[in-house]
Amino acid sequence: MKRTTGLLLGSYLLFGGLGMAVAQETTPPPKVLSIIREFVKPGKSGAPHEKAESAFVQAMRRAKWPTHYLAVSSISGKPRVLFLTGYDSFEAWEKDVRATQNNTTLSAALDRAAVADGELLSDFDASALVYHDEYSLRPAVDIPHMRYFEISLYRVRAGHDADWDAIVKMVKAAYEKIPDVRWAVYYAQYGQEGTTYVVFTPMKSAAEVDKGFAQAKQFMANMGEEGMKKFSELLAGAIEFSQHNLFSFSPAMSYVSEEWIKADPDFWKPKASAAAPKKAEEKPAQ
């Protein structure tokens, strides 16, 4: 019973189960998602890291760079920040990288920022994900008004791709009957071991986690007794590893579009730090 409950909870967290208010303006997930992970040294997260990252944001703003990115900070797991950049294709990604390299002013500023930022990091890696529409449920959301991502990683055992496909379709069918539940699924094309899928569930507040747990009974009822039995068996055999973590949006470390800022200026618009050094007062003539 404990094993079955654990598998159910893992899948429940992975695929969302988080109720959300209906979005006013929705944005579909990007087809290609670049993720850079920065693991921060103990004592260097928060304000020190935000200050270092502000150099990247300022450089991008000065260049009026058309490609934007979202930074999300870990609430669970090791201290780290994910920088998410979406593209329409790998070709579009390549063009952006080349354009950045060819802009000597911008690339020099980014290089300088990277040196200072590197002093705060214990590790760094990158990955590239490809959006999987068939496995996603109501993925278009009002992202500028979100505040959290629940990000789940699911690694499928070799030879169990068909079982994974069956698992996702069973879960999706059960949740389609529950309003306002949504998630976006990506396949890890580069940067992860084996066959790995990453699931993003956006949230406006942590209260949606509580609401999601409350929907578990409805999920199980929709699956039915036989469906739950088959579901648990498939999970036990197909999943090699799973991990679920919560991240909060970080406006100070994000370079977002004007449309995002206008949608929620109190959250996204940069504000002067109260700790910023004041200009020295002029001394009277001696």
DSSP-derived secondary structure for the chain: -HHHHHHHHHHHHHT---B-PPPSS-BPPPSEEEEEEEEEPTT-TTHHHHHHHHHHHHHHHHHT-S--BEEEEESSSSSEEEEEEEESSHHHHHHHHHHHHH-HHHHHHHHHHHHHHHTTEEEEEEEEEEE-GGG-BS--B-GGG--EEEEEEEEEPTT-HHHHHHHHHHHHHHHTTSTTB-BEEEEEEESSSSEEEEEEEEESSTHHHHHHHHTHHHHHHHHHHHHHHHHHHHHHHHEEEEEEEEEEE-GGG-B--HHHHHHSHHHHS----TTSPPPPPPPPP-
For residue 94, the one-letter residue type is: E
Residues near 193 by Cβ (< 8 Å), separated by ≥ 6?
A: 155
The reply to whether 271 falls in a domain is no
The reply to whether 82 falls in a domain is yes
The reply to whether 72 falls in a domain is yes
The reported pLDDT for the residue numbered 24 is 52
CATH number at residue 51: 3.30.70.100
For residue 38, the one-letter residue type is: E
The reply to whether 40 falls in a domain is yes
pLDDT, one tens digit for every residue, the chain (286 residues): 222 333 333 444 444 433 333 335 788 999 999 999 999 999 999 999 999 999 999 999 999 999 999 999 999 999 999 999 999 999 999 999 999 999 999 999 999 999 999 999 999 999 999 999 999 999 999 999 999 999 999 999 999 999 999 999 999 999 998 988 999 999 999 999 999 999 999 999 999 988 888 788 889 999 999 999 999 999 999 999 999 999 999 999 999 999 999 999 999 985 654 444 443 333 333 3
d(CA 35, CA 188): 10
The reply to whether 26 falls in a domain is yes
The reply to whether 272 falls in a domain is no
What is the distance of C-alpha 153 from the center of its chain?
11
Q: Which residue range forms the structural domain that includes residue 210?
A: 2-265
For residue 138, the one-letter residue type is: R
Q: Is the dihedral of CA 175, 211, 198, 160 positive or negative?
A: negative
What's the structural domain count of the chain? Answer: 1
Using CA atoms, how far residue 138 sits from 54, 68, 131, 181, 228, in Å, is 33, 23, 13, 7, 23
**Contact of 12 with 219, CB cutoff 8 Å:** yes
The reply to whether 274 falls in a domain is no
Can you give the pTM of this predicted structure? Answer: 0.86
The reply to whether 273 falls in a domain is no
**Contact of 184 with 29, CB cutoff 8 Å:** yes
